[in-house]
């Protein structure tokens, strides 16, 4: 159905889809969805030092933005919610974490 | 769908930050055989406004340094007279024993060489600031006490609704933000300690989580109390704080002030008599910031290098320890340059201003069985020690209440409809992403509610917040974390509507910048020497009404009441 709508003749200002909702649905399927890990994020984990299976930092984070990556079992910043409070950095038993200022306030 | 988690407690505390930790500890100490349950959205070891500690107590009333009556007078002035003095007095009288109790838990306060409390003067009139040089570990000490006395703790559970039976609080529903499980808790009494509405305005940086308040505090408590039928008060008395520009954390005048630091304009001149945070002070700050001599700076470069180093040591280890990192990145050295300041986004927080769920001197809200303490309860300028003290007061009141009344029942229908509301975004394909709606809501808060206020702007803001209910109903979420953010949008929307309506209702200006109406620029004591309270009406819309100011227990004369309106340093008279 979306293909059909895409081939319709496009008039400037006119929605190519039946509705805003249909347009959003098509946008969701677009192949360029990005993974935040590939970008500059405030919480930087030194994977050499990070202890596999430890989750002290994940428990410390007040906004719950950290998680343990399932394959290597190392901590990483999963959600872009960092308050730059340093709880993870202070509580990490091996000093594996450095928190940078989020770019917008750096 | 996974089964609900069902829990029961004698006393249920929502939020394990400053107030909630103490409420839970005190309740459990008095109920060794009962169940005290603490629900925490984060993890109690690092949650709330003091997750990374606090550099001191801003409102200590230490015998020999100040009296409770002096303190009540000062806070009455700082709030232009609109206070429930009994509630402030209850704090003032009980806070010293709270300090002593905290000491018995291992909290250290600064003492002089002779062993006296090392009180500093920051307020306009009296001396109430007590530094805590090792305040960075205060949350650790509280967590240790929570475990020692046997409080049952559920971390990463966010409360979503207070359940009510025949007008009385009988429990809450919640969401485990990691597993997505729906939680139902039955309790004989509920103490809300959910902190400020910190994600109301959008910081000037545009960074959603770059808030002054801990961003876990999205106004959950304000919205839940409102939905439960409780009265809220002074909502139009916004929190606006003078902060480090961009970093958006406190500078902090209370730390550097006693060492000799102070606020100056771009010419390096002092323009305020007192750096203590009040609406009147913020008005002078704002005028200078936006005026020809702006912006505004914190000046410490006249101090001895040892003094600067000591200020840095406190600022870079406690409360917001990344301050040092921020300044290093900008190349700012406190001993060399002035430190640029700006105003924060608006928020609701009685800890610094006066907005909150209406409570009396026993911490009771207007809903039986429901108590509130800390930044979300209406005792003004209450700060950390106020949260501790009212946590303790609420525990005492809740203990009395459960002695008398525990017959409430949970309504399965209400639970079912709340489960549906809470989990709906997970099943909504093509929903709106929570961070987008949050950004939109908070941008509108900045556009229309941020002082200076006027009726036209406030009304346009209100129109949008009402329309935003439909947008909240279109939110989608991909995982439990996202679902938490979606539910927070609903809290933020409720708080924004309250802020718009209360600001429209009070047709005068009061509390300096906090409620500066350009269309009603003067204080109008004749018509507005009252609280503006609001609550959920029977038809589901918001009711606003005037609530008289309770008769003062500590009288002030007319001149005293105006003390805080004279914060600006007067221009030097011309030499004759």
- pLDDT at position A36 is 46
CATH topology assigned to domain A36-105: Alpha-Beta Plaits (3.30.70)
Write out the residue range of the structural domain in which residue B535 sits. 413-548
Provide the CATH number for the domain around residue B31. 3.50.50.60
Which B-chain residues 206-225 have CB contacts (< 8 A) with chain A?
Answer: 206-211, 214-216
**DSSP class per residue in A20-61:** HHHHHHHHHT-TT---GGGS--SEEE-TTTSPTT--HHHHH-
Four-CA torsion A30, A35, A39, A42, nearest 10 degrees: 140
Is the complex ipTM more than 0.90?
yes
Residue B165 lies in a domain: yes
Are both B226 and B262 inside the same structural domain? no
Question: How far A65 CA sits from the closest chain B CA (Å)?
Answer: 9
In a domain, B61, yes or no: no
Interchain contact, A105 vs B211, CB within 8 Å: no
* Residue-wise pLDDT tens digits, A34-59: 444 467 889 999 999 999 989 999 99
Residue B47: per-residue pLDDT = 96
B263: enclosing H helix or E strand: strand B262-265
Show which of B322, B343, B364 is a domain's final residue. Answer: B343
Which chain B residues touch A102 with a CB distance below 8 Å?
207, 209-210
Q: Could you tell me if B444 lies within 8 Å of chain A, comparing CB atoms?
A: no
The 3-class secondary structure across B238-255, one letter per residue, is CECCEEECCCCCECCHHH
Q: Which CATH number fits the domain that encloses residue B292?
A: 3.90.700.10
CA distances from B65 to B61, B102, B116, B118, B126 (A): 7, 19, 10, 10, 8
* Domain co-membership, B269 together with B288: yes
Nearest residue on chain A to B50, alpha-carbon basis:
A85
Q: Cβ–Cβ of B209/A25 closer than 8 Å?
A: no
Kindly give the residue spans of alpha helices, DSSP state H, lying in B249-408.
Answer: 253-256, 279-290, 305-315, 323-330, 383-404
Residues B151 and B24 in one domain: yes
Residue B320 sits in the same domain as residue B427: no
Specify if B163 maps to a domain.
Answer: yes
Tokens of A40: 């500059």
> Given an 8 Å threshold on Cβ–Cβ distance, is B325 in contact with A106?
no
Q: Return the residue matching tokens 């200020």.
A: B311
How far is the C-alpha of B243 from the C-alpha of A96, rounded, in Å? 30
Q: How far is B142 from chain A (nearest CA, A)?
A: 15
Contact B46 A91 (CB under 8 A): yes
Report the pLDDT value the prediction gives residue A11, as an integer from 0 to 100.
64
Please report the number of interchain residue pairs, chain A to chain B, with beta-carbon separation below 8 angstroms.
88
Q: Are residues B20 and B142 in the same domain?
A: yes
Residues B400 and B502 in one domain: no
Residues in chain B within 8 Å Cβ distance of A62:
42-43, 46-48, 51, 214-216
Partner-chain contact A105 B429, CB within 8 Å: no
Q: Does residue B565 lie in a domain region?
A: no
B176 forms beta bridges with B157
- A88 to chain B: nearest residue by CA? B46
Residue B575 lies in a domain: no
Provide the CB-side half-sphere exposure for B98 (13 A, CA). Answer: 26
Residue B576: per-residue pLDDT: 56
pLDDT, residue B260, reads: 94
* Residue from the list B45, B207, B214 with its beta carbon closest to the beta carbon of A104: B207
B404-412, long-range: CB within 8 Å, 24+ apart, which pairs? Answer: B405/B168, B405/B188, B405/B368, B405/B369, B406/B188, B408/B165, B408/B166, B408/B168, B408/B169, B408/B170, B408/B171, B408/B188, B408/B369, B409/B165, B409/B170, B410/B163, B410/B165, B410/B170, B410/B171, B410/B184, B410/B186, B411/B163, B411/B165
Smallest Cα distance from B263 to chain A, Å: 22
pLDDT value of residue A27: 63
Give the pLDDT of chain B (576 residues) as one tens digit per residue.
457 999 999 999 999 999 999 999 999 999 999 999 999 999 999 999 999 999 999 999 999 999 999 999 999 999 999 999 999 999 999 999 999 999 999 999 999 999 999 999 999 999 999 999 889 989 999 999 999 999 999 999 999 999 999 999 999 999 999 999 999 999 999 999 999 999 999 999 999 999 999 999 999 999 999 999 999 999 999 999 999 999 999 987 788 999 999 999 999 999 999 999 999 999 999 999 999 999 999 999 999 999 999 999 999 988 999 999 999 999 999 999 999 999 999 999 999 999 999 999 999 999 999 999 999 999 999 999 999 999 999 999 999 999 987 678 999 999 999 999 999 999 998 899 999 999 999 999 999 999 999 999 999 999 999 999 999 999 999 999 999 999 999 999 999 999 999 999 999 999 999 999 999 999 999 999 999 999 999 999 999 999 999 999 999 988 888 899 999 998 776 665
B209–A83: do the CB atoms touch at under 8 Å? yes
The beta-carbon neighbor of A83 closest among B177, B215, B429 is: B215
Nearest CA distance, A40 vs chain B (angstrom): 15
**How many helices (DSSP H) and strands (DSSP E) are in chain B?**
16, 17
**Residue B111: strand, helix, or coil:** strand
Number of domains in chain B: 3
Say if B572 falls within a structural domain: no
Q: Is B113 a domain residue?
A: no
Nearest residue of A to residue B207, measured between CA atoms:
A104
Report yes or no: B23 and B203 within 8 Å, Cβ to Cβ: no
Asked if residue B179 and residue B34 are part of one domain, the reply reads: yes
B412 SS3 class: helix
Domain boundary among B326, B343, B360: B343
Q: Which residue of A has its CA nearest to B480?
A: A64
Contact criterion met (CB < 8 Å) for A105 and B209? no
Residues B333 and B231 in one domain: no
Q: In chain B, which residues have their Cβ closer than 8 Å to the Cβ of A83?
A: 209-211, 214-215
B422 and B502 both lie in a single domain? yes
Neighbouring CB atoms inside 10 A of A64's CB total: 24
Q: Does B258 share its domain with B152?
A: no
Contact present, B137 and B321 (Cβ < 8 Å)? no
SS3 B201: coil
Closest CB from B43, B51, B206 relative to A85: B51
Which of B313, B343, B373 is where one domain is finished?
B343
Q: Do B430 and A101 touch (CB under 8 A)?
A: no
CA distance B53 to B141: 10
B541 within domain boundaries = yes
Look up the pTM and report it: 0.94
Pairing of strands B152-155, B36-40: parallel
Q: Which of A18, A82, A101 would best serve as a mutation to test chain B binding (most B beta carbons within 10 A)?
A: A101
B316 and B457, same domain (yes or no):
no
Q: Are residues B222 and B369 in the same domain?
A: yes
Within 149-168 of B, beta carbons closer than 8 Å to A belong to 155-156
Domain with CATH 3.30.70.20 in chain A: 36-105
CATH, residue B529: 1.20.58.100
Residue B574: per-residue pLDDT: 64
Is residue B198 within 8 Å of residue B214, measured between CB atoms?
A: yes
CB distance A25–B215 less than 8 Å? no
Q: Are B109 and B103 in contact (CB under 8 A)?
A: yes
- Whether residue A25 and residue B429 make contact (CB cut-off 8 A), yes or no, is yes
Contacts of B74 (CB under 8 A, 6+ apart): B123, B124, B125, B126, B128
């Amino acid at each position: 159905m979306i293909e059909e709508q895409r081939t319709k003749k496009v008039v400037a200002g006119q929605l190519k889809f039946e509705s805003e909702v249909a347009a959003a649905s098509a946008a969701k399927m677009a192949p360029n969805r990005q993974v935040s890990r590939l970008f500059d994020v405030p919480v930087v984990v030194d994977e050499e030092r990070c202890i596999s299976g430890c989750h002290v930092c994940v428990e410390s984070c007040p906004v719950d933005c950290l998680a343990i990556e399932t394959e290597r079992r190392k901590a990483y910043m999963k959600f872009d919610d960092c308050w730059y409070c340093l709880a993870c950095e202070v509580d990490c038993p091996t000093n594996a974490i450095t928190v940078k200022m989020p770019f917008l306030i750096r | 769908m996974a089964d609900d988690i069902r829990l029961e407690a004698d006393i249920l505390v929502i939020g394990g930050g400053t107030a909630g930790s103490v409420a839970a500890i005190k309740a459990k100490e008095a109920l060794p055989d009962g169940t005290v349950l603490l629900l925490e959205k984060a993890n109690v070891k690092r949650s709330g406004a003091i997750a990374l500690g606090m550099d001191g107590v801003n409102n200590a009333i230490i015998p020999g340094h100040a009296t409770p009556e002096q303190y009540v007078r000062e806070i009455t002035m700082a709030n232009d007279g609109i206070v429930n003095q009994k509630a402030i007095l209850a704090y003032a009288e009980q806070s010293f024993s709270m300090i002593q109790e905290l000491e018995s838990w291992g909290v250290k306060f600064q003492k002089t060489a002779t062993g006296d409390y090392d009180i500093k003067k920051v307020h306009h009139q009296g001396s109430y600031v007590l530094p805590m040089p090792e305040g960075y570990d205060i949350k650790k000490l509280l967590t240790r006490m929570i475990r020692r006395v046997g409080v049952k703790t559920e971390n990463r559970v966010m409360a979503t609704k207070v359940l009510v039976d025949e007008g009385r609080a009988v429990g809450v529903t919640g969401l485990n933000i990691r597993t997505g499980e729906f939680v139902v808790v039955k309790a004989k009494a509920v103490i809300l300690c959910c902190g400020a509405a910190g994600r109301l305005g959008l910081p000037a940086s545009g960074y959603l989580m770059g808030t002054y308040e801990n961003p876990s505090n999205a106004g959950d408590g304000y919205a839940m109390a409102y939905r439960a039928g409780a009265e809220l008060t002074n909502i139009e008395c916004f929190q606006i704080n003078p902060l480090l520009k961009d970093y958006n954390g406190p500078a902090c005048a209370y730390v550097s002030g006693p060492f000799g630091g102070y606020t100056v304009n771009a010419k390096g001149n002092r323009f305020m008599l007192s750096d203590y945070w009040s609406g009147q002070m913020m008005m002078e700050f704002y005028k200078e910031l936006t005026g020809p001599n702006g912006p505004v700076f914190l000046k410490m470069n006249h101090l001895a290098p040892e003094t600067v180093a000591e200020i840095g040591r406190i600022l870079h280890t406690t409360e917001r320890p990344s301050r040092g990192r921020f300044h290093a990145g900008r190349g700012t050295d406190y001993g060399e340059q002035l430190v640029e300041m700006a105003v924060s986004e608006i928020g609701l927080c009685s800890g610094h201003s006066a907005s909150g769920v209406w409570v009396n001197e026993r911490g009771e809200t207007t809903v039986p069985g429901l108590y509130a303490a800390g930044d979300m309860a209406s005792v003004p300028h209450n700060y950390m020690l106020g949260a501790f003290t009212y946590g303790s007061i609420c525990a005492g009141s809740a203990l009395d209440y459960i002695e008398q009344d525990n017959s409430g029942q949970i309504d399965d229908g209400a639970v079912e409809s709340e489960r549906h509301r809470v989990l709906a975004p997970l099943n909504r394909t093509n929903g709106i992403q929570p961070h987008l709606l949050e950004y939109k809501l908070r941008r509108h808060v900045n556009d229309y509610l941020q002082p200076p206020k006027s009726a036209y702007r406030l009304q346009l803001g209100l129109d949008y917040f009402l329309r935003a209910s439909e947008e909240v109903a279109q939110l989608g979420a991909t995982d439990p974390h996202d679902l938490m953010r979606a539910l927070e949008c609903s809290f933020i929307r409720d708080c924004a509507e309250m802020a718009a309506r209360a600001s429209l209702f009070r047709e005068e200006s009061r509390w300096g910048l906090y409620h500066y109406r350009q269309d009603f620029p003067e204080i109008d004591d004749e018509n507005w020497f009252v609280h503006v309270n609001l609550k959920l009406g029977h038809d589901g819309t918001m009711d606003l009404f005037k609530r008289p100011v309770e008769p003062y227990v500590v009288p002030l004369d007319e001149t005293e009441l105006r003390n805080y309106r004279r914060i600006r340093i007067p221009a030097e008279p011309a030499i004759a």
